[in-house]
């Protein structure tokens, strides 16, 4: 039996986030050969619909309204619910992002549905699909299967590979008119404190600093290394608490969860709260003066040394390779 699956697309500054395409790939696996429908909500998102189709969606439904220019759980909840009522899907897939983590419990509660959150892998297809998710701050994994009713999952970015982009793929794009009203909160302006460049939660390379960077200036070599590698800069809570950087860079149990191909931890001791946010990185490189630092226990490669000596050497060697 094949299923109809709807996927919520996420846009930022006029472009779809990578997790949207990963969610489509997950939906294709869950559908078991059924129909995958993309959903886009915003002020002007219709032009982004074809990109979802190019990455595997069979068709896309859009909801456009001035009150959807900025995300609010009320506004997006009304938009998504309207599409759900029209399509009556068997399954829903969101990205496990700030938006997805905020909106999915609201929708699940409204639909009286269960929710399998923070999925990092899917085994099997269709109704036989089994969902793998971390528990106990990443110390263990559990496998969950939906036995009956609506299937609702959120997937962690950078864990499920997107399908190949196919510019020749076509599909229908339709719209649903929804009166987005009775909002409890209205966002007038968004002031971004995060640094420009690669999105930390979707970066393939992350260079993170801890208290060992000693100051805000201590992050400058980390930023240079991240730029060379096409990655993003992150931080431990200790570095954020010490005012070395903004909390928007925080990685950990109370910050962002990242799963890059390469994670470079510089001057980070390896407290469990931080490890919970990066332990699933594919390759972990730790740089620390203390050979007994906990971070070395989970690192694939460890460098015992002063980060202010090691990072410049890494930058120099990478520049040589690139030249």
Average pLDDT over residues 5-16: 94
* 190 within domain boundaries: no
* 191 within domain boundaries: no
Percent of the chain at pLDDT > 70 equals 98
User: Do the Cβ atoms of 53 and 167 come closer than 8 Å?
Assistant: no
Domain total for the chain? 2
161 and 207 within one domain: no
Continuous segment of H or E residues that includes residue 15: strand 15-16
pLDDT of residue 185: 84
252 and 204 within one domain: yes
pLDDT of residue 323: 84
* 220 within domain boundaries: yes
pLDDT (tens digit per residue) in 74-91: 999 999 999 999 999 999
pLDDT of residue 215: 95
170 and 318 within one domain: no
Task: Look at residue 19 and tell me whether its pLDDT is greater than 60.
Answer: yes
- pLDDT grade, residue 193 (50/70/90)? low
The residues with which 8 forms a beta bridge, in sequence order, are: 39
d(CA 251, CA 214): 18
Q: Which among 69, 66, 158, 174 is positioned nearest to 121, based on CA atoms? A: 158
Question: Which pTM was predicted?
Answer: 0.86
CA 240 distance to own-chain centroid: 21
129 and 23 within one domain: yes
166 and 261 within one domain: no
217 and 163 within one domain: no
Which of 160, 175, 190 is the endpoint of a domain?
175
* 28 within domain boundaries: yes
CATH number of the domain residue 169 falls in: 3.40.50.620
293 and 254 within one domain: yes
Average pLDDT over residues 187-212: 82
Tell me the pLDDT of the chain averaged across its residues: 93
83 and 144 within one domain: yes
The residue among 33 and 139 whose pLDDT is bigger is 33
Q: Which among 247, 248, 299 is positioned nearest to 269, based on CA atoms? A: 299
d(CA 60, CA 309): 52
Q: Which domain holds residue 271?
A: 200-322
291 and 240 within one domain: yes
Q: Which of 21-25, 86-90, 250-254 has the lowest mean pLDDT?
A: 250-254
């Amino acid at each position: 039996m094949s299923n109809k699956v709807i996927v919520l697309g996420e846009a930022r500054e006029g472009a779809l986030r990578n997790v949207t395409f990963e969610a489509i790939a997950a939906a294709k696996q869950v559908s078991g050969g059924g129909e995958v429908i993309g959903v886009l909500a915003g002020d002007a998102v219709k032009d982004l619909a074809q990109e979802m189709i190019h990455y595997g969606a069979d068709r896309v439904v859009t909801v456009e309204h001035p009150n959807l220019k900025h995300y609010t759980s009320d506004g997006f909840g009304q938009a998504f619910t309207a599409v759900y009522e029209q399509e009556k899907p068997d399954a829903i897939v969101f990205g496990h992002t700030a938006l997805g983590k905020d909106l999915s419990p609201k929708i699940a509660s409204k639909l009286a549905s269960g929710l399998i959150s923070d999925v990092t892998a899917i085994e099997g297809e269709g109704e036989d699909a089994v969902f793998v998710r971390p528990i106990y701050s990443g110390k263990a994994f559990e496998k969950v299967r939906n036995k009956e009713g609506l299937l609702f999952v959120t997937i962690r970015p950078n864990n499920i590979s997107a399908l190949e982009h196919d510019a020749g793929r076509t599909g229908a794009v339709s719209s649903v008119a929804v009166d987005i009203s009775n909002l409890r909160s209205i966002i007038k302006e968004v002031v971004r404190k995060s640094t420009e460049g690669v999105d930390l939660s979707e970066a393939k390379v992350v260079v993170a600093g801890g208290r060992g960077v000693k100051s805000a200036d201590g992050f400058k070599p980390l930023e240079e290394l991240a730029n060379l590698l096409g990655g993003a800069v992150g931080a431990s809570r200790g570095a954020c608490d010490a005012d070395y950087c903004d909390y928007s860079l925080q990685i950990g149990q109370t910050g962002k969860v990242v799963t890059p191909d390469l994670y470079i931890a510089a001057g980070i001791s390896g407290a469990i709260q931080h490890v919970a946010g990066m332990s699933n990185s594919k390759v972990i490189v730790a740089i620390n003066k203390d050979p007994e630092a906990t971070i070395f226990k989970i690192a694939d490669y460890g460098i015992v040394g002063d980060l202010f000596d090691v990072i410049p050497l890494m930058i120099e060697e990478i520049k040589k390779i690139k030249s």
